[in-house]
Amino acid sequence: MATSTLSKDAFGTAEVLKQLGIGTQNYGASTGLKHYQTKGPKIDSFSPVNGQLIGSVNTATAEDYEATLKTAEAAFKIWRDVPAPKRGEIVRQMGDQFRKFKDPLGKLVSFEMGKSLQEGLGEVQEMIDICDFAVGLSRQLYGLTMHSERPQHRMYEQYHPLGIVGIISAFNFPVAVWSWNAALAWVCGDVCVWKPSSKTPLCAIACQNIIVDVLKKNDVPEGVSCVLIGNPVGDLMNNDKRVPMVSFTGSTRIGRIVSSSVAQRFGKTILELGGNNAIIVSEHADLNMVLVGSVFGAVGTAGQRCTSTRRLIIHESIYDKTLNVLKSAYSQLKIGNPLDSNNHVGPLIDKKAVDDYLTAIVRAKEEGGKIVVDGGVVTGEGYESCCYVKPCIIEAKNEFHIVQEETFAPILYVMKYKTVEEAIAMQNGVPQGLSSSIFTGNMREMEMFLSASGSDCGIANVNIGTSGAEIGGAFGGEKETGGGRESGSDAWKAYMRRQTNTINYGTKLPLAQGINFNI
């Protein structure tokens, strides 16, 4: 694998932060126009790109949380009565603001998280796209009408906003996942309280700063868009009956805690948890397409996507050929500053992620795995953050304990199969169920993979990789991935409560099921 560096000042840190209204010291509580001078423990945000301190944030305290929730409660009582198309118009204006600030926000996402500049800009584009989607949705919050069994009665269903939606997002998509939830929740009439990852707090502050003018221009009630930074906020939110819905993106381990806490108070959750995604490579596959889909899926965002490709299940007849193609491709990967478009692989988020990566490789070897492309930490000039690692390929068995787990790093496990039925069983033979893919030119195999007895994942693709998704479709998975859905399709229904209504426009009161009750 090749390495590539970029001058330390290429990012233009000071100018980008200035455009986004971020200083060296920031506060971790906002209800829209108001930013509170919080006094919680300080978080220093270091870029994994070069180890540079970008800025610091004083986190929110329990008192800040309480003040924010009271403001959000009051805002909901006003916001829910704003006509949905009007709410959509406000979200449209937010989308325009994200268009205006796409370049600086994309750079900040890249620099604070460590993903490539192209991916950072792409993440902001997802925010723009979901705002566009939400605008149309604001005129399509449809219910159903039903024929009543009683004469001169009409039945129908309608949807009402839930109230306060808590959004707990992860570092790997520091802005997009918030927007997937917030844009839909807002047009549904909900207000949002966002707890971003403490690893990428400045991106959240930037988003709030970007939409401030829209909130002010439209006299949006203070509290419709809130941000609270700091890990204790999550526990407070999960146990707060005033928050009927919590959307959590993160690990399966923490997801269990969130799910249990919210369920104890009969709240609702959207859970987007771990992925252990596989690509099946059929003997009928186009290997040129396989190469692009599997390499980007495995090394894009340094393997830190929930949809990253973790396993490659290859037909035995083309196994050696496929590995040779992969090894050749991996030897040409360039590792370095993600702001340099010549590089393919940026850094992991922090040194703990590097330790997890190294531990996974050791564990795979101990279980009998064979190294196909060796990994390791990249050192030297341009890699001072110590967060750059080499993408690794390991020949393994699906039943290895380490293969059954999700490691957020560029490690690809390869294994062989004989029949498509065996391959599908291997694909399904992990606790997670987010994304899956098959590369094949055989229609029978395609249809088997997409049938009820095929992939058990929330996302199943044919001749494209596991990584990446369009906002038009509902995003989420099954099993230990959580079962939640965000973004497009009818995911909006999760942010609303359904109500069945019956209207009697006659002069008599017949009872259902023909019951007689004479008094």
Query: For 135-182, how does the pLDDT look when each residue is reduced to its tens digit (9 = 90+)?
Result: 999 999 999 999 999 999 999 999 999 999 999 999 999 999 999 999
* 126: its two tokens: 């997802």
Residue 469 has a pLDDT of: 85
Average pLDDT, the chain: 96
Catalytic residue among 119, 123, 272, 406: 272
Residues 6+ apart with CB under 8 A from 58: 25, 26, 27, 28, 37, 38, 39, 40, 41, 42, 43
Between 24 and 302, the more confident residue is 302
HSE-CB at 169 with a 13 A cutoff on CA atoms is 29
Is 422 annotated as catalytic? no
| pLDDT, mean of residues 446-468 | 97
Q: Which two tokens stand for residue 68?
A: 């924010």
Q: What is the pLDDT of residue 36?
A: 87
How far apart are the C-alpha atoms of 461 and 466, rounded to whole Å? 7
Read off the pLDDT of residues 354-381 as tens digits, 9 standing for 90 and up.
999 999 999 999 999 999 999 999 999 9
Residue 8 reports pLDDT greater than 60: no
Q: From residue 453, how far is each of 269, 424, 484 by CA, in Å?
A: 28, 9, 21
Span 432-454, average pLDDT: 98
Q: Which phi and psi (to 5°) does residue 461 adopt? A: -115, 155
The single residue listed with the structure tokens 């949809």 is 307
DSSP code, position 510: P
Q: What angle do CA 43, 44, 50 make, to 5 degrees?
A: 150
Beta strands per DSSP E along 10-79: 25-27, 29-30, 35-36, 42-46, 53-58
- CA dist., res. 158 & res. 143, Å (int): 5
Q: pLDDT tens digit string along 215-266?
A: 999 999 999 999 999 999 999 999 999 999 999 999 999 999 999 999 999 9
What's residue 115's pLDDT? 96
Q: Is 272 a catalytic residue?
A: yes
> Which of 188, 203, 226, 306 is flagged as catalytic?
306
Spatial separation of the C-alpha atoms in residues 456 and 458, rounded to whole Å = 7
- Is the Cβ–Cβ distance between 79 and 189 less than 8 Å? yes
What is the three-class DSSP state of 377? strand
Element containing residue 213 per DSSP (H, E): helix 201-217
Q: Calculate the alpha carbon distances from 74 to 69, 161, 221, 352 in Å.
A: 9, 14, 8, 41
pLDDT at 5: 39
Q: Are 238 and 246 in contact (CB under 8 A)?
A: yes
| Tens-digit pLDDT profile for residues 299-339 | 999 999 999 999 999 999 999 999 999 999 999 999 999 99
pLDDT in tens, 70-86: 999 999 999 999 999 99
Which residue type is seen at 205? I
Tokens (6 digits) for 78 = 């006003």
Q: What local confidence, expressed as pLDDT, does residue 518 receive?
A: 82
pLDDT band at 18 (very low <50, low <70, confident <90, very high): very high
Determine the Cα–Cα distance for residues 516 and 501; give it in Å rounded to an integer.
22
Q: Is the dihedral of CA 99, 14, 116, 250 positive or negative?
A: negative
Query: How does residue 6 score in pLDDT terms, banded at 50, 70 and 90?
Result: very low
No. of helices (H) and no. of strands (E), the chain: 15, 26
| H-state helical runs in 41-83 | 62-79
Summarised one tens digit per residue, pLDDT across range 476-497 is 999 999 999 999 999 999 999 9
**Mean pLDDT of the 37-60 span:** 95
88-117, pLDDT tens digit by residue?
999 999 999 999 999 999 999 999 999 999
Residue 321 DSSP SS3: helix
What confidence category does residue 10 fall into, taking pLDDT thresholds of 50, 70 and 90?
A: low
